[in-house]
Each structure stands twice: as C-alpha cells, then as structure tokens.
Amino acid sequence: MRIATWNVNSVKARLPNVQGWLETASPDVALLQEIKCETASFPAKDFEALGYEVHAVGQKSYNGVALLSKHPVTDLLTRLPGEPEDEQARYVEGTVQGVRVASLYLPNGNPVGTEKYPYKLRWMDRLKAHAKGLLESGQPVVLGGDYNVIPGPEDVYDPKGWTEDALFRQETRLKFREILHLGYTEAFRALHPDMAHAYSFWDYQAGAWPRDMGLRIDHFLLSPQAADRLTVCAIDRGPRGQEKASDHTPVIVELDV
C-alpha cells in the first residue's frame, strides 16, 4: 500500500498540480493538508474522477485536511479528541484495508510568545494522548501530515538561525520525541539515517527553493505493526519545481500490506 502526504497550500489553487501528481504517483491513499476551503466546496468530483473516495474536513480560508483513498474508508474521525471547543480543521482519520490512517496539520506555533505557541503544544499533547490509544488497538497505524516540527539539526538548512523558531525550539522537539517514545517510528529517518538536505518544504520567499534552503517538517509516524511492513519512504521533490507549486512537496511511504 502506497500512502502519500502533501501540504498543497490551497486545493483549488493547486488542482492541476495535485491531479497530475496523483495520476503519475498513483498512491492508494493521499493525505492532504491546508486545503484552505470549506468542506462543502472541496472539489471532490475532480478526485473521484481519478478513482478516489474523498473525505475532506475544511473551514473557511485556513487549514483543512483531506483523506483520499482508492479503497473504502471506514470508521471516520474528523477531529482530534481532547479540546472540543477547538474549531480548527486539522485532523481526519479512517481505516483503509485494516490500516488506521490519519491526515494531520499540526499548528505552526509562530510567533512564540503569543497564544499560537501554547496552542501548538496543547495540540501535540492531544495528539500524544490519541496516538497512545491507537497503539493499544494493535492494528497498523500511519499518522501522516504537516507536523510543523523540524526533528533535528540535519533537517534544516540553518539550524542556528532556527533555534528559537516554534518549528525547531527544544520544547517542540522534545514533545515530538515524546510521541515517538510511545512506540512510533518516524519513517523517513528510520530508512535514511544519514541523508542530508532531505527537505519537504521551501519558503516562497528569498529564493529558498533554488538555493535549497529547506526544512523537513512533513512526516509519517508508524506504529510497530506498520513499521514492520515499511519498505519505502521517499520525498518527491518534483512538484516543488513546477509552475504554481505548493511550498511543500509530497512524501511517500510504502507498506507491504
């Protein structure tokens, strides 16, 4: 089973890019983030035409996630538990062929020192609690998405310059590791322990893409039952170089299921 995650930065602005990539890469499941539209206006038909069942969770203007699958999806969950008053559309989860799969968009958290950063930390605590429960099910679990977390200094072009950023500061990285320590495997680093410049995001500004000033912030976390079946994890830089590109590029895992 091939699963892709991609922060598309507006599904409507990106429709030709996303459709074209899905036709070529043909993942069984595509996890999208930052669809930036309301659920009802998600262009579901454009993806159904490619053979996908569509489950979008959106809101006006910001955020929004989607789970596209070539196989039936059951037991859909459309919000991350733990803070019922949280209205931001950042989580969708369902079961595909016995695998529990989630598309998540973790809050950015900048600027640190505003309410945005404690919200990010609370969201990570909620994800940790939920991820712990998922492990107890014993099924393979794949949590993919834009984590807005740079796991280590090898995952950013200028670690010193990013030390106080919400994506890289110690408190953020420690909390990310707390989730891993529950028993999850970060797929890319597990298969490519020494690969440098393996970024998944390049800012639109300051020529970040041509200068390869990137970050690796889009990740797959796998439960032991999923990690045991992991054969491939790859970043496809192709879409970032296209016209009208998203600032993120897709990451893919393949599981032998």
Residues carrying an active site annotation: 105, 146, 248
Residue 60 contacts DNA per CB under 7 A:
yes
Q: Which one of the spans 43-51, 108-116, 149-157, 177-185 is the region binding DNA (CB under 7 A)?
A: 108-116
Closest approach, Cβ 236 to DNA, in A, equals 19
| Contacts with DNA, 238-257, as mask; x by CB under 7 A | ------x-------------
Residue 110 contacts DNA per CB under 7 A:
yes
Contact indicator for 135, 182 with CB cutoff of 8 Å: yes
Residue 162 contacts DNA per CB under 7 A:
no
Q: Annotated binding residue at 63?
A: no
Q: Which one of the spans 65-73, 104-112, 152-160, 249-257 is the region binding DNA (CB under 7 A)?
A: 104-112
Closest approach, Cβ 185 to DNA, in A, equals 25
C-beta closer to DNA: residue 28 or 247: 247
Selected binder of DNA within 132, 153, 204, 231 (CB under 7 A): 204
Selected binder of DNA within 71, 116, 229, 237 (CB under 7 A): 116
Residues paired with residue 101 on neighbouring β-strands, in sequence order: 94, 142
Closest approach, Cβ 28 to DNA, in A, equals 27
Selected binder of DNA within 30, 32, 36, 143 (CB under 7 A): 36
C-beta closer to DNA: residue 83 or 254: 83
**Order of strands across the sheet with 218-222?**
73-77, 91-96, 99-105, 141-146, 218-222, 185-186
Question: How many chain residues touch DNA (CB under 7 A)?
Answer: 19
Selected binder of DNA within 2, 39, 46, 62 (CB under 7 A): 62
Selected binder of DNA within 9, 103, 185, 225 (CB under 7 A): 9
Distance CA 143, CA 127 (A): 10
Size of the chain, expressed as the number of residues it contains: 257
Rg (CA), the chain: 17
Residues at the binding site for Mg(2+) are 7, 34, 146, 148, 247-248
Residues that bind DNA (CB under 7 A): 9-10, 12-14, 36-37, 60-63, 107-108, 110, 116, 204-206, 244
